[in-house]
Structure 1
Amino acid sequence: MSTRPESDWDPRADAVLQDQVTVYDQMRQRCPVAHSEYMHWSLFRHADVMQVLTDHETFSSAASSHLSVPNGMDPPRHTEYRRIIDRYFTPERIAGFSSACSAIAASLVAKLSKGSEVELMADFAQAFALEMQSAFLGWPKALHEPLRLWIRKNRQATLEGDRAAMADIAFEFDGYIKDMLGTRRKLGVVASPDVTTSLLNERVAGRLLTDDEIVSILRNWTVGELGTMASCVGIIAHYLASHPAVQQLLRNDLSILPAAIDEILRIQAPLIANRRITTKPVTLGGRDLAAGERLSLIWASANRDEVVFKDAATFRLDRDPSQNLLYGAGIHVCPGAPLARLELLAITQELLTQTTNIALVADKPAVNAVYPAGGFSVLPLRID
């Protein structure tokens, strides 16, 4: 039997919602494997998270009752679908998107009103995520605003645990994607040869992917790209504004940007957690868990574990990159990491080269995002 206290903590307490990172740091010290009704068993230490990530037989990814390709699958089923997914993030495909990516980044930064205040999340970061996502997948600009609203509604329903609303929101997204798939099928050989069209021709187990499978793949990419990538931009910009010495270091040497971006996003995570479920009794962090227990892997805490990252809240470029869980680890490591790195490098480089200074606004503090989002929901900055 698992040890199930009524609650070790409340993930929806005001203190957590106001400053997730600080509370997670405290939980890592006080109760590194903690139970709550809302998040079940939360893992805060790097070692415990790594134990789960590297043992997919004990810790299953099939934690959702809904189809999730391939995130919510285990081998051998996961292996079949992952082989398809990985083809869309090869070095050749990423290199082929590089020019368009750079152009989008340059255009977005050029439109920023220099010498004045901007609300970076709504006015810039979300537009960045939408334009990059649409360009990579071949989606029309007309879909930008519906997707922006969809992401907002999805986050709110998830935070409130409103299952009826979540089901309605998922159905709405499915409709957008299925409409696009139907359009591409009608166009046949003259359909744009983009990522979305290509998925129509993918096969698994000797058959074409179903529409539901394609929708699941695109939903996973969209939620990850739009929500998390906007958060990444906000976190990076805020860190540069809050740490002028680091900002100047990067302005002086753009070659260190890739490592610097990963380090900044280690310090403050854009993605808070992922789920797993135990397949058999297991002990984690001194807690005995039964089969069928649900886990939340708290990336935002594991990546700040002082046992692995000395002076964890300090920006350093001499850390072991293999320990950084920004893009996960194990068989479910993020396949889109090369694309994300390309996009973040492009936008950060343009922010530094097209401006002279990025600064906080003294009387307008940033507002932290709340679970399941990371980073900021509102971010006033002065861009010169």
Structure 2
Amino acid sequence: MTTQQTLETFDIHAPQARSGAECLWAKMREMQGLYRNESYGGYYVVSRYEDVLKVLTKPALFSSAHGITLPPPTSVRSLHVPAEVDPPMHGQYRALMMPFVMPEKVRMREPVVRAMVERLLAQVPDGVSFDFVRVVGRPLPILVALDLLGMPAEDAADLEQLVGQLHSDVAAGKSSGAIGRIEDYAKTILDRRRPTATDPVEDLVSSVLLGKVDGRPLTEHEQVSMIRLLLIGGFDTTSATLTEMMRWIASEPEQARRLRKDPSLIPGAIEDVVRFTSPATYLRREVTEDVELGGTQLKKGDSVLVAFGSANRDPNKFPNPDTIDPTRKPNMHVGFGAGNHRCIGSFLAKMELTTAFEEIFSQFSEFYVDRSKSVAYTSGLGQAIISLPMIFKRKS
């Protein structure tokens, strides 16, 4: 039997943290000030949309430079560049990566991604129960990231295991050595490209190797950190959205028919699934000076936990927030973040998702959740489905 958390027992790393989270978020939003929790050194939760937007768009007051995880990182060296760097340097690092994930570049990658989707869907059994996450939802974003970085698809399984172990380490506040092994892999990526990299505009890895910030080349630590972030930044979030959308259309046959009949609705559905899912469910910021937020007086050095999931379910911003609506407009969700740190890979993620569902609708006539088995969720900073038993039927 699942025991849901209360405000008194709230812990994002508890095994069943996702169960009943919407109820807790609603209670937090209704409080006079910000909810306060004394675990992990103490922190406030920012749960209302308008307050979340203030935090995300005011990096001078709410800094990422002391770590965005909860619990906070124990070493400055473990900080991610540029996710845990404040403006103006943040923008210089980001500029090295942006050209390779902008819409025009993403469109060029679409045929490769479609071929990946086709290969993964070829492994789906016809009329037999399988775990959608293991067969499709999890492998796809990993394969796309490896391709972006010029690495072989055969590395996907080992990399997935390392990233999973890293998330466990963050939750436990300890290290199993996973971060070191991921850094070693990042160094391998850089070392493979280094001998032939001649121009920073050639590809993303060349840009990291040859690009400059503040008028100087990047240090090895900066280079490794940027590649490390690319390796782990989009796996869980894209997988979570892909899986949640699959669960939704499998549970709502009328919506599936609607999208199948009018594929132009797929991008809007994906956008609202990102809002609904909030795959980056929580991230931390540190207050840089005394400031009032949401009716609470914060002090310099306080930790605030940004609850993206709560902000995206705020009824003051989104009518019927617990319903996925492919035609929701406007849809100013913070599922990809906001401000300087808005997700750099959002265009790539949306292309992956759109391509995946175009192919699913093309190849399969039916799909539904296997109710004889359990749907499993993960906990931590990103809370999403990690096991989705399904049955697909191919078109004859």
User: TM-score, normalising length from structure 2?
Assistant: 0.88
Q: How far apart are residue 9 of structure 1 and its match? A: 4.8
Question: How has the CA–CA distance of structure 1 residues 32 and 377 changed in structure 2, closer, same or farther, with 3 Å as cutoff?
Answer: farther
| Counterparts of 2:203 and 2:377, CA distance in 1 | 36
Q: Does 1:137 align with 2:149?
A: yes
Q: Secondary structure at the match of 2:364?
A: coil
Aligned residue number for residue 96 of structure 2: 84
Larger mean Cα displacement after TM superposition, 318-327 or 136-145: 318-327
Q: Shift of the alpha carbon at 1:371?
A: 1.7
1:51 paired with 2:54, answer yes
One-letter code of the match for 1:261?
I
Post-superposition offset of 1:346: 0.6
CA distance in 2: counterparts of 1:114 and 1:42, whole angstroms:
45
Matches within 5 A, 1:351-366: 351-366=360-375
| 1:10-159 equivalent positions in 2, closer than 5 A | 10-11=10-11, 12=13, 16-30=17-31, 33-36=34-37, 37-38=39-40, 40-64=43-67, 65=76, 66-159=78-171
| Counterpart secondary structure, 1:51 | helix
Residue aligning to 2:275: 266
Is residue 63–residue 275 contact of structure 1 (8 Å, CA) maintained in 2? no
Q: How many residues get paired? A: 373
**Mapped contact 1:15–1:23 kept (Cα < 8 A):** no
Give the aligned residue type for 2:48.
Answer: R
Listed as ranges, the matches of 1:261-340 within 5 Å are: 261-340=270-349
For the residue of structure 1 that corresponds to 2:129, the secondary structure is strand
Q: 1:237 aligns with which of 225, 246, 260?
A: 246
In the alignment, the residues of structure 1 paired with residue 328 and residue 153 of structure 2 have an alpha-carbon distance, to the nearest angstrom, of 40
Ranges in structure 1 where 5+ consecutive residues have no aligned partner: 1-6
Distance 1:26 1:173 in 2: 39
Residue pair 1:299, 1:326 contacting (<8 A) in 2 also: yes
C-alpha change, 1:208 and 1:13, in structure 2 (3 Å) is closer
Q: Is the 8 A contact 1:278 1:293 kept in 2?
A: yes
Taking the aligned partners of 2:125 and 2:267, their CA distance within structure 1 comes to 26
In the superposition, relative to structure 1, how do residues 139 and 229 fare at CA in structure 2: closer, same or farther (>3 Å)? same
Tell me if the contact between 2:123 and 2:135 (Cα under 8 Å) persists in the aligned partners. Answer: no
Contact 1:35/1:41 (<8 A) preserved: yes
What does the per-residue CA deviation read over 1:81-117, in whole Å, with 9 as the maximum and x for residues that have no partner? Answer: 1222222222331122122112212222232112111
Bigger shift: 283-292 or 193-202? 193-202
Q: Out of 179, 190, 193, which is 1:170 matched to?
A: 179
- Which residue in the other structure is 2:71 paired with? none
The AA in structure 2 aligned to 1:35 is R
Question: Contact 1:48–1:285 at 8 Å: present in 2 too?
Answer: yes
1:343 is aligned to 2:359? no
How high is the sequence identity, in percent, across the aligned residues?
Answer: 26
The Cα of 1:310 is off from its aligned counterpart by 1.1
- Matches of 1:24 and 1:151, distance apart in 2: 28
Q: Structure 2 unaligned runs (5+)?
A: 1-6, 68-75
Q: Is residue 2:222 matched to residue 1:199?
A: no
Q: How far is the alpha carbon of 1:317 from its aligned partner?
A: 3.5
Residues 321, 101 of structure 1: CA spacing in aligned structure 2 closer, same or farther, 3 A cutoff? farther
Change beyond 3 A, Cα 1:30–1:380: farther
CA distance in 2, matches of 1:142, 1:110: 17
Match of residue 184 from structure 1: 193
Question: Once superposed, what is the RMSD of the aligned Cα atoms?
Answer: 2.2
Asked whether the equivalents of residues 268 and 328 of structure 2 are also in contact (C-alpha less than 8 Å), the reply is: no
Contact 1:32 1:44 (C-alpha < 8 Å) held by counterparts: no
Q: Structure 1 residues 364 and 32 mapped into 2: Cα distance closer, same or farther (>3 Å)?
A: farther
Q: TM-score when scaled to structure 1?
A: 0.90
Question: How many Å apart are 1:315 and its aligned residue?
Answer: 2.1
Select the structure that is richer in helix: 1
CA distance in 2, matches of 1:310, 1:334: 24
